[in-house]
Amino acid sequence: MSLWEDKVRRVVPYTPGEQPADTGIIKLNTNENPYPPAPGVLAARDAMDVERLRLYPDPAAGELVKALAGRYDVAPEQVFVGVGSDDVLSVAFLTFFNSDRPVIFPDITYSFYPVWANVYRIPYKMAPLDADFRIRPEDYYEENGGVIFPNPNAPTSCYEPLDVVEDILQHNPDVIVIVDEAYIDFGGTSALKLLERYENLLVVQTFSKSRSMAGLRIGYAIGAPKLIKAMNDGKYSLNSDTMNMPSQLMGVCAVRDEAYFKQCVNRIIATRERTKAQLLALGFVFPEPMANFIFARHPRFQGRELFEALRAAHIYVRHFDQPRIGDYLRITIGTDEQMDVLMDFLKNYINSH
Amino acid sequence: MSLWEDKVRRVVPYTPGEQPADTGIIKLNTNENPYPPAPGVLAARDAMDVERLRLYPDPAAGELVKALAGRYDVAPEQVFVGVGSDDVLSVAFLTFFNSDRPVIFPDITYSFYPVWANVYRIPYKMAPLDADFRIRPEDYYEENGGVIFPNPNAPTSCYEPLDVVEDILQHNPDVIVIVDEAYIDFGGTSALKLLERYENLLVVQTFSKSRSMAGLRIGYAIGAPKLIKAMNDGKYSLNSDTMNMPSQLMGVCAVRDEAYFKQCVNRIIATRERTKAQLLALGFVFPEPMANFIFARHPRFQGRELFEALRAAHIYVRHFDQPRIGDYLRITIGTDEQMDVLMDFLKNYINSH
C-alpha cells in the first residue's frame, strides 16, 4: 500500500435504495411519488432557455426562495434551499452542531444522521424509540449539542403530534432543534406553526416526496432569519452555486400549483388507507402510518423472506437488516393498481406458506 | 445573544462574482463562455421525460460517467462526477487531505482552497508565486499533506507546462496531487497524460467554461480507480443523490459533440489573441494568458479605478482587492463584439485621463 493511501478518509457510505434500470418492476422501495410533477413543470421545461445555461445560475435561487416564502407565508430571509433535503440537512449539521456535547436523535431513524455526524466529527447519542416506535420526549431533556428527528419518522412512518415537538423545544432553548419533515404533507401538521415562538427551530422539507420531484433534487429549510443566514454563509463557503438552472425554474412551477399538489397528496393518502385495511386483513401489523409508506411486519414471516419473495416477483420494497426492525418491510404507497399487484402477491404467498 | 448562537459555525464565505439580473450589461466577470451549449443540449431538453422527475436520479450518473470515460479514453472507474467542480474539489479535500501536515497551494489562486481547508480543519500553507505569477516547483518539495494548484492558474491565467507538473508529482509520491484544470481546454496540455505513471494524481475539470454549461453545475475528476472509489464513498456519505436528472441528460449530449466543442474553444482563443494585441497597444501588461480570460493591469491606473469606470459603463470585469494583484483586472473573453465595446471604452478612458 502506498503511503498516500494511509491518509485517505475511510467512511462507511450510506446505502441508498436500489434504482433498477428495469422499468418492468413495481418500485415501492424509495418512497417516490407515483404521480408525475405538476403540469407547469412540463411547461417550464419547454420555456427553459438552453442558451442561458452558459451562465452561472442565481446562487441565491431567488425566485424559488420567493415562491417558497409565499407558499409558507414567511419572509424570504427565512428560507434556505439546497440540492435535496440531504444537502440542506448536511449544511445544517455542519452549521449548527458545533458543540462538544452530543447531538441527540432517535436510534431508529434516517440513516444519514450518524453518517453526517461521523464525517463532521460531531459527537452524537441515539435515544431509543419506545416499543411502539414512538419518540420519548424525556430522552431529549438532558444537556446536548442539538436535536434532530424526522416527523413523521422514517422508516417507521410514526408521527408525533405538535405538543410532543413543542415539549422537546421547550426543554431545549439553548440548542438548535431540527424537525425533518420530508413526509409531513401526508397527513401531519408541520412544526412551521411553532416558528413564531421558537427561534432555535429549523424545519426541513423536500420536493422529492409530496411534490414528485426526486429527480430534480430540491430541499429547503425554514427558520429564523439568523439561522438561515448562518446556513447560507456555510453553504457559500462550501460551494456557492449548487442548485442548477433547471431545478430553479421547474421548482418554482411545482410550488405554484397548489391544487395539483393537494390532489396528488390526497390520492396517496386514499391509497394508503385502502392498503392499510388490506394489510390488516392479511394479518400484518404496523404502526399508524402518517407518511407515503407503511412500515409493516407479518407475525408468521421474517422480513427478509417476504422482501426476497417480493423481489423475485419484481416488486421492490425496502428491508433494513437492523436490530428491532429486521422483520419489517417499508412499503411505499404507489398507485392503486400497483398496490393491487402487491396485495395479490402477498395474499397468495401468505395463504400458500 | 442566545446560548445556541455560541455554537453556530462562523465562516467567512466566498464572494462569488456578481450575477446581475440586468441583461443590458457586458458580463466579463465570471469566466463564462459567450457561446451557447452544444445543439444537442436543446434536443436533450426536448426529449427529457418530465414524468420521470418523480424518480430519484441515477446516483452514479452512469451515462455521464460513461460518456466522459469515452471522451478521455479512461475506464468508467476512473471518473468521478459532481455538482460543478467546486463540489468535486470539496469532496477531494475531504477525502484526501487528512494529514497533520499542511496541504500546499499557491498564495494567489482559486479563493475557495483556503475556505474549504478552514471548513474541514485541514492545515495548509500557501507557496508564493514568483514575481511573474509563476509556480516555483521547489516550494512543493517539502513534506506536506497534499498539493493542489490550478493549471492554468486563476486569476492569473498562467499555464505551467507538463514538465513542471511532473516535477511536482515526482517530488510528492506519498500524497495526493490535485491539478485543477478548469481552464485547460483554452490552449494547455492536460495532466491526464501523466495518469498512467502517477496513481496519486487527480485531474479535475468542469463543464462551466469550455462546455458552456455553468448553469447546469457539472464537474468531474479523473484519476486511478482507487482514488475515484474513495471519493465516491465520501460523496455517498454526504449526499447520495446530488446530480439531478436534467444535468445527467444534457451533460451527456454536451460531451458527445466534439466538433462543436472544438469550434467554440477555437473561437474564444482567436478572440483572446486579438484582445491581447489590442490591450498591448493600449499599454496594458499581463502574463501570457492561457485561459478564457486575461489578467491585466495598466501602469498608469489603479485596478479599482478602471474596474469602477468599466462598471459605470455597464461593463463588468473582476477585481480582487488583495495584496500583489490589486492593480489587475480579470477580463473574461467574450465575443468579438463584446470585446470591441470593452476596447473602445478603455481606449477613450486611457486617452482622456
Interface confidence (ipTM) of the complex: 0.94
Cα distance between residue B212 and residue B39, in whole Å: 11
Say yes or no for a CB contact (<8 Å) between B215 and A19. no
Q: Are A55 and B214 in contact (CB under 8 A)?
A: yes
Measured between CA atoms, how close is A52 to chain B, in angstroms? 7
Say yes or no for a CB contact (<8 Å) between B56 and A239. no
Q: Are A183 and A290 in contact (CB under 8 A)?
A: yes
Cα distance between residue A112 and residue A88, in whole Å: 12
Give SS3 for B339: helix
Measured between CA atoms, how close is A36 to chain B, in angstroms? 5
Say yes or no for a CB contact (<8 Å) between A95 and B8. yes
Instruction: Check whether B276 has a pLDDT greater than 90.
Output: yes
Say yes or no for a CB contact (<8 Å) between A56 and B99. no
Residues of A in contact with B53 (CB under 8 A): 36-37, 41, 212-216, 250
Q: Which residue of B has its CA nearest to A214?
A: B56
The tens digit of pLDDT for each residue in A3-51 reads 777 777 777 666 666 667 667 899 999 999 999 999 999 999 999 999 9
Cα distance between residue A144 and residue A138, in whole Å: 13
Confidence at residue A22, expressed as pLDDT on a 0 to 100 scale: 67
Residues of A in contact with B145 (CB under 8 A): 7
Cα distance between residue A46 and residue B220, in whole Å: 28
Say yes or no for a CB contact (<8 Å) between B174 and A3. yes
CA separation, residue B56 to residues A16, A145, B1 (Å): 10, 32, 41
Of the candidates B11, B53, B241, the beta carbon closest to that of A41 is on B53
Nearest to A10 by CA among B352, B96, B7, B158: B96
Three cell numbers, residue B41: 443540449
Of the candidates B9, B42, B244, the beta carbon closest to that of A247 is on B244
Confidence at residue B1, expressed as pLDDT on a 0 to 100 scale: 59
Residues of A in contact with B177 (CB under 8 A): none
| Residue A70: alpha-carbon gap to chain centroid | 22
The arithmetic mean of pLDDT across residues A284-310, rounded, is: 98
Say yes or no for a CB contact (<8 Å) between A9 and B95. yes
Nearest to A88 by CA among A245, A224, A258, A207: A207
Of the candidates A10, A200, A247, the beta carbon closest to that of B4 is on A200
Instruction: Check whether B21 has a pLDDT greater than 80.
Output: no
Cα distance between residue B89 and residue B220, in whole Å: 9
Probe site for chain B from A3, A8, A86, A121 (most B CB atoms < 10 A): A8
Nearest to B238 by CA among A80, A182, A90, A234: A90
Probe site for chain A from B233, B239, B316 (most A CB atoms < 10 A): B239
Q: Which residue of B has its CA nearest to A82?
A: B242
The tens digit of pLDDT for each residue in B48-95 reads 999 999 999 999 999 999 999 999 999 999 999 999 999 999 999 999
Q: Are A82 and A104 in contact (CB under 8 A)?
A: no
Which amino acid, one-letter code, is at A320? F
CA separation, residue B335 to residues A15, A55, B211, B236 (Å): 47, 14, 15, 40
Say yes or no for a CB contact (<8 Å) between A245 and B216. yes
Q: What average pLDDT is seen over chain B?
A: 94
Of the candidates A50, A84, A215, the beta carbon closest to that of B36 is on A50
Nearest to B333 by CA among B28, B35, B36: B28
The tens digit of pLDDT for each residue in A58-93 reads 999 999 999 999 999 999 999 999 999 999 999 999
Measured between CA atoms, how close is A352 to chain B, in angstroms? 34
The arithmetic mean of pLDDT across residues A341-349, rounded, is: 98
Q: Strands A177-180 and A201-206: what pairing?
A: parallel
Measured between CA atoms, how close is B287 to chain A, in angstroms? 26
For chains A and B, CB pairs below 8 A equal 274
Measured between CA atoms, how close is A220 to chain B, in angstroms? 14
The arithmetic mean of pLDDT across residues A203-224, rounded, is: 97
Cα distance between residue B152 and residue B182, in whole Å: 8
Say yes or no for a CB contact (<8 Å) between B232 and A3. no
Residues of A in contact with B33 (CB under 8 A): 54
Backbone angles phi, psi at B143, to 5 degrees: -60, 135
Say yes or no for a CB contact (<8 Å) between A8 and B95. yes
Which amino acid, one-letter code, is at A6? D
Give the pLDDT band (50/70/90) at residue A240.
confident
The arithmetic mean of pLDDT across residues A138-155, rounded, is: 97
Measured between CA atoms, how close is A189 to chain B, in angstroms? 24
Tell me whether residue A3 is exposed, middle or buried, using C-beta atoms within 10 angstroms of its C-beta: 0 to 12, 13 to 18, 19 or more.
exposed
Of the candidates B4, B200, B246, the beta carbon closest to that of A176 is on B4
Give the pLDDT band (50/70/90) at residue B239.
confident
Measured between CA atoms, how close is A178 to chain B, in angstroms? 13
Cα distance between residue A251 and residue A294, in whole Å: 28
Contacts by residues B132-135 (CB-CB < 8 Å, ≥ 24 positions apart): B132/B158, B132/B287, B133/B108, B133/B158, B133/B287, B133/B295, B134/B158, B134/B160, B134/B287, B135/B106, B135/B160, B135/B164, B135/B168
Cα distance between residue B244 and residue A83, in whole Å: 9
Number of H helices, E strands in chain A: 11, 11
Q: Which residue of B has its CA nearest to A100?
A: B7
Cα pseudo-dihedral B17, B152, B60, A85, rounded to 10: -20
Tell me whether residue A126 is exposed, middle or buried, using C-beta atoms within 10 angstroms of its C-beta: 0 to 12, 13 to 18, 19 or more.
middle
Instruction: Check whether A162 has a pLDDT greater than 70.
Output: yes
Asked if the bond preceding B152 is cis, omega within 30° of 0, the reply is yes
Q: Which residue of B has its CA nearest to A30?
A: B56
% residues pLDDT > 90 (chain A): 87
Measured between CA atoms, how close is A353 to chain B, in angstroms? 34
Cα distance between residue A11 and residue A41, in whole Å: 37
Of A148 and A15, more confident: A148
- Provide the angle, in degrees to the nearest 10, between the axes of the packed helices B112-119 and A225-238: 120
Q: Which residue of A has its CA nearest to B145?
A: A7
Residues of B in contact with A3 (CB under 8 A): 173-175
Residues of B in contact with A102 (CB under 8 A): none
Cα distance between residue A7 and residue B143, in whole Å: 14
Confidence at residue B17, expressed as pLDDT on a 0 to 100 scale: 63
Q: What value does the CA radius of gyration of chain A take, rounded to a whole number of Å?
A: 21
Give the pLDDT band (50/70/90) at residue B241.
confident
Residues of B in contact with A27 (CB under 8 A): 55
Q: Which residue of A has its CA nearest to B100?
A: A7
Residues of A in contact with B247 (CB under 8 A): 244, 246
Cα distance between residue B125 and residue B225, in whole Å: 28
Cα distance between residue B125 and residue B117, in whole Å: 10
The arithmetic mean of pLDDT across residues A262-278, rounded, is: 98
Q: Which residue of A has its CA nearest to B96?
A: A8
Of the candidates A37, A116, A199, the beta carbon closest to that of B50 is on A37
Cα distance between residue A182 and residue A217, in whole Å: 13
Measured between CA atoms, how close is A115 to chain B, in angstroms? 6
Confidence at residue A174, expressed as pLDDT on a 0 to 100 scale: 95
Measured between CA atoms, how close is B218 to chain A, in angstroms? 9
Three cell numbers, residue B72: 478521455
Which helix H or strand E contains A303, and what residues bound it? Answer: helix A303-312
Q: Strands B219-223 and A201-206: what pairing?
A: unpaired
Answer left, alpha or beta for residue A121, where phi above 0 means left and psi between -120 and 50 means alpha: left
